[in-house]
Amino acid sequence: MRDAAAPFNARMSDVPLDAARRRDPRIDSRMAVRPSLRLAERWVNRLPLAGVTLLSKVGAPKLAALGISFSIPFIYLGGLLGLLTGRLVIDPARFVWFLTMAAVLWLMQFVHGGPFSVLSLLMLCVLHLPYVLGGRAVNGGPERAWDAFRLLASFLAICGIAQYLLQFVIGPLFAFPMDNLLPEPLRVLGFNGQGWIEYGSTTFRSNGVFMLEASFFSQLLAIALVGELLNRALSWKRVALYCAGIVVSYSGTGILSLIVCFPIWMVRQRRWDVAAVLLIAIALFWAVLLSGVANENVFVKVFLDRSREFTSTGSSGFARFVGGFYLFEQFLWPDPLRTLFGFGSGSFVAYIAEAQFPAHGMALFKMVFEFGIVGATAYFGFLLYCFSRSRAPLELRAAIFVPLLIQNYVPFAHGLAFVLLVWSTPSVAQFLRSKA
């Protein structure tokens, strides 16, 4: 049996096993390699992955209209299967952290004394409850989880590239079947599933056919790309495939993840050769931009437009990454009580309608605005603890944390975190039980 960290370079395991883990040989028990557990483990991974990707656009009637897909049921089915087969156990430390976070967030609603959305807060708790689950055995868990994700990411990348090209042949109606041919009662609403590459264009950005938006498609491929670079069996064909998928998505959120993760990867792996090549490529790219030679190129035009969005108040980039700070300045900071305890769960949407500048519900903005500094500290403290306990490489954890910061009320990033970071990490409870 291959080592649990085999998919990644040996030095990339950031949280070494403590003394108790190293001393207990029963961690590698035979139960971890039984065929029944192998089969169960595959579905423990596959169900959440399928839910947040292949079924992310599909939901039950009435719930789909509210933006709720089958992702959450599939995540819980995977977790339940893991518990029933003994593949997963409840991690005591994470469970205490979750209860503390939930208690603080619920308490904030009564401290500020204003109206709040019970359903919004319940949804937040439902999305984060699976973080309390941990893996039961070391052998093969992370490896099988990564293999399942790698295969899925490659499939979606191929679908996305084909989708982008086929829209010029068969038309957008059939190139985007999940957005146009899926019965409306089953179609998840509230997302920009079929977006233009730029204003006034007749070409659509690829969303990988199944993903909610092009932005989620690019984020998934960015995570896959980071993981592939850490893989011992690095496949440059897959790297090229993921890069091509990110290009046809015309989305900057995946690139944002790469901007965060690449410097970490280059420093930790000591890939100064890659750093030098990247700096030269960036310099050449900006030289081409400044020369104006490629200004009519579609990709270059889109890149320039995207780069200006942070200062353009009417753009999605400004609303997503900048507008929240103006919202704080307008409503939050003038009121010390609201600064500490927030305006209440679900209040963000109501206030952005009155805001001076547009703002989107990025996790940082939404959590601070609705739950105040106290509640946001409890929330992000819980997430950081869960991510820090994972034995996955720091780069991979960062790649998943970035989309989580962008949108924490969508199951997408949570599902990937469960499979690749949390559930594949052996729980402290397992080692405590083994020593008994």
How confident is the model over 382-412, as pLDDT tens digits? Answer: 999 999 999 889 999 999 999 999 889 999 9
pLDDT of residue 306: 65
Q: Is 312 a domain residue?
A: yes
**pLDDT above 80: residue 16:** no
Residue type, 17: L
Residue 274 lies in a domain: yes
Domain membership flag for residue 32: no
Helix, strand, coil percent values for the chain (each to nearest 5): 65, 5, 30
Q: Is the pLDDT of residue 15 over 70?
A: no
C-alpha dist (Å) from residue 84 to 71, 89, 94, 238: 20, 9, 20, 35
Phi and psi torsions of 82, nearest 5°: -65, -40
Hey, how many other C-beta atoms are within 10 angstroms of the C-beta on 77?
A: 17
Residue 137: pLDDT over 90: no
Question: Mean pLDDT across the stretch 102-130?
Answer: 91
What crossing angle do the helices spanning 92-111 and 118-128 adopt, rounded to 10°? 170
pLDDT for the residue 286: 74
Distance CA 159, CA 208 (A): 5
CB distance 187 to 196 below 8 Å: no
Residue 88 DSSP SS3 = strand
Compute the average pLDDT of residues 261-272: 87
Q: Does residue 20 register a pLDDT over 80?
A: no
Q: Give the best-scoring range by mean pLDDT among 108-117, 118-127, 258-267.
A: 118-127
Q: Taking 90 as the threshold, does the pLDDT of residue 155 lie above it?
A: yes
DSSP string covering 119-146: HHHHHHHHHHGGGGEEES--TTHHHHHH
Query: What is the reported pLDDT for 298?
Result: 65
Q: With contact defined as beta carbons under 8 Å apart, do 387 and 99 qualify?
A: no
Q: What is the pLDDT of residue 307?
A: 63
Residue 309 has pLDDT above 80, yes or no: no
End-to-end CA distance of the chain: 26
Name, of 28-32, 50-54, 198-202, 419-423, the range with top average pLDDT. Answer: 50-54
Q: Is residue 243 part of a domain?
A: yes
What average pLDDT does range 234-252 have in this prediction? 92
Cα–Cα distance list, 260 to 231, 282, 402 (Å): 19, 16, 8
What letter does residue 196 receive in the DSSP assignment? B
Cβ neighbourhood burial of 342 (10 Å; 0-12, 13-18, 19+) = buried
Range name among 2-16, 62-76, 193-207 with the lowest pLDDT average: 2-16
Could you tell me which residues are beta bridge partners of residue 6?
A: none
Could you tell me the pLDDT band of residue 87, with boundaries at 50, 70 and 90?
A: confident
Q: Determine if residue 9 is left, alpha or beta; phi over 0 gives left, psi from -120 to 50 gives alpha, anything else beta.
A: beta
Q: pLDDT at position 378, please?
A: 96
Q: Based on the number of CB atoms within 10 Å of its own CB, is 223 exposed (0-12), middle (13-18) or buried (19 or more)?
A: buried
Mean pLDDT (whole number) for 171-193:
93
Q: Which of 32-46, 62-76, 227-241, 359-373 has the lowest mean pLDDT?
A: 32-46
Q: Evaluate whether residue 408 is within a structural domain.
A: yes
Which has more confidence, 352 or 74?
Answer: 74
> Among residues 312, 287, 180, 305, which one has the least CA distance to residue 251?
305
Question: Residues 300-324: what's their mean pLDDT?
Answer: 71
Residue 322 or residue 75, greater confidence: 75
Report yes or no on 8 lying in a domain.
Answer: no
Strand pairing category for 88-90 and 133-135? antiparallel
Residue 354 burial (10 A CB sphere; 0-12, 13-18, 19+) = exposed
pLDDT score of 308: 64
96 within a domain of the structure (yes/no) = yes
pLDDT for position 352: 87
**Rg of the chain on CA atoms, in Å:** 22
pTM: 0.86
Phi, then psi, of 426 in degrees rounded to 5: -55, 135
Of 143, 395, 400, which Cα lies nearest the Cα of 269? 395
- Residues of the domain holding 391: 39-434
Burial class (CB in 10 A: 0-12, 13-18, 19+), 180: middle
A 10 A CB-CB count for 235 gives 12
Check residue 311 and give its pLDDT: 64
Rounded mean pLDDT, 80-106: 93
Higher pLDDT, residue 324 or 7: 324
- pLDDT score at 8: 58
Nearest to 139 by CA among 431, 417, 426, 421: 426
Q: Can you give the pLDDT at residue 391?
A: 86
Average pLDDT, the chain: 84
- Return the pLDDT at 13: 47
Cα 280 from Cα 77, distance rounded (Å): 48
Tokens 């305006």 locate to 343
Cβ-based burial of 141 (10 A; exposed 0-12, middle 13-18, buried ≥19): buried
**Averaged pLDDT for residues 156-184:** 96
The pLDDT of residue 97:
97
State the virtual CA torsion across 126, 122, 51, 100 in degrees, nearest 10.
-30
DSSP state for residue 426 in the 8-state scheme: B
Residue 45 falls inside a structural domain:
yes
Mean pLDDT for the stretch of residues 123-152: 85
**272-285 per-position pLDDT tens digit:** 887 888 888 878 87
With CA atoms as reference, report the closest residue to 229 among 150, 142, 148: 150
Q: What is the pLDDT of residue 181?
A: 94
**What pLDDT score does 21 carry?**
40
Structural domain count, the chain: 1
